[in-house]
C-alpha cells in the first residue's frame, strides 16, 4: 500500500492537494482529525489538565481547543509538553487505521500531516512519497484567518513549524500554491496521472 504524505504550513493548501487525490479514489487519513478524536479520550483529558490546568476543559468536560492552543503554542517548551501527551496516542490510532486499510487491500492512502518535522523524526518514516505544498507566508496567514483562525494564533503556530526550505529538502514532490485552489487541484491530478502511468 503506497503511503503518500501531504505536508505544508498552515494555510498552504494541504487539504486541497489531499482532496484532489481522494477524488481520484484514494483513501485518506487526516492526522489533525485523529488529533481531534484523541482529545475525547479520558486519559488524554486528564493528562492535559495536569499539564496545562483545569481551564483547558469546557463546562461539558471537553477539551477547549482555543484555550489549549493559546497555552500550548506560547513557546517551544509548552508545545513539546503537548506533543508528549498527544503524539504517542495519535501514532497508535494512526497505525491501527493503516493496518485496517492494508487488510482491506487498499492500494494507496493519502495522509495529511501538518506537524511534520522530518522523515526520520515523525510518522512520515513510513512514507513512500512526501508531497510538500508551499505558499508565501502572508498569503498563508490571510487564508488561515479567512477560515476562522485568529491572526496572532496563526503566526504563533507557523513560528513553531519547520520552514519551506526544510520541507523542500524532505519532499519527493513540491507544489507551489500561490494561485487558486483550482490551479493547485489540477496540478496534483496531473502529477497523480503521470505517477500512476509510470507504475
- Is residue 23 scored above 90 in pLDDT? yes
Instruction: List, for residues 83-109, the tens digit of each pLDDT value.
Output: 999 989 999 999 999 999 999 999 999
- Burial per residue of 97-124, b for 16 or more beta-carbon CB atoms within 10 angstroms, e otherwise: bbeebeeeeeebbbbbbbbbeebeebbb
Return the closest-CA partner of residue 98 out of 39, 32, 29, 153.
Answer: 29
Other beta carbons within 10 angstroms of residue 14's beta carbon come to 26
For the chain, domain boundaries: 2-198
Look at residue 101 in the predicted model and tell me its pLDDT: 97
pLDDT at position 106 is 95
CA distances from 24 to 50, 91, 105, 109, 110 (A): 44, 26, 17, 11, 11
- When pLDDT is cut at 50, 70 and 90, the band that residue 199 belongs to is low
Whether the Cβ atoms of residue 110 and residue 21 lie closer than 8 Å to each other = yes
pLDDT single digits (tens) 108-158? 999 998 888 888 877 889 999 999 999 999 999 999 999 998 898 889 888
Task: Tell me the average pLDDT across 168-195.
Answer: 96
What pLDDT, on a 0 to 100 scale, did the predictor assign at position 134? 97
187: which 3 cell numbers? 496540478
At 116 the pLDDT is 87
Distances (CA, A) of 155 to 5, 39, 77, 107, 149: 24, 23, 17, 37, 10
Q: What is the mean pLDDT of residues 64-73?
A: 92
Domain 2-198 indexed as CATH 3.30.9.10: no
pLDDT at 121: 76
Q: Exposed (0-12), middle (13-18) or buried (19+): which is 156, by Cβ within 10 Å? A: middle
Is pLDDT above 70 for 11?
yes
Which cell goes with 182? Answer: 483550482
Contact 21, 30 (CB under 8 A): no
Task: Average the pLDDT over each of 12-16, 55-59, 155-159 and give the range with the smallest value.
Answer: 155-159
The cell numbers describing 164, all together, are 519551506
Grid coordinates belonging to 100: 485496517
Amino acid at each position: 500500500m503506497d503511503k503518500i504524505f501531504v505536508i505544508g504550513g498552515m494555510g498552504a493548501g494541504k487539504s486541497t492537494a489531499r482532496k484532489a487525490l481522494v477524488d481520484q479514489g484514494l483513501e485518506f487519513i487526516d492526522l489533525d482529525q485523529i488529533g481531534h478524536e484523541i482529545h475525547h479520550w479520558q486519559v488524554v483529558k486528564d493528562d492535559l489538565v495536569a499539564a496545562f490546568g483545569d481551564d483547558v476543559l469546557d463546562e461539558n468536560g471537553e477539551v477547549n481547543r482555543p484555550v489549549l492552543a493559546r497555552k500550548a503554542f506560547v513557546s517551544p517548551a509548552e508545545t513539546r509538553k503537548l506533543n508528549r501527551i498527544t503524539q504517542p496516542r495519535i501514532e497508535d490510532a494512526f497505525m491501527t487505521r493503516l493496518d485496517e486499510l492494508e487488510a482491506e487491500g487498499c492500494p494507496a492512502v493519502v495522509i495529511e500531516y501538518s506537524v511534520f518535522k522530518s522523515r526520520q523524526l515523525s510518522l512520515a518514516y513510513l512514507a513512500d512519497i512526501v508531497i510538500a505544498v508551499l505558499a508565501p507566508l502572508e498569503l498563508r496567514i490571510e487564508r488561515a484567518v479567512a477560515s476562522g483562525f485568529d491572526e496572532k494564533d496563526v503566526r504563533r503556530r507557523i513560528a513553531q513549524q519547520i520552514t519551506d526550505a526544510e520541507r523542500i529538502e524532505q519532499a519527493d514532490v513540491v507544489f507551489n500554491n500561490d494561485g487558486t485552489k483550482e490551479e493547485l487541484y489540477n496540478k496534483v491530478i496531473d502529477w497523480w496521472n503521470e505517477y500512476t502511468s509510470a507504475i
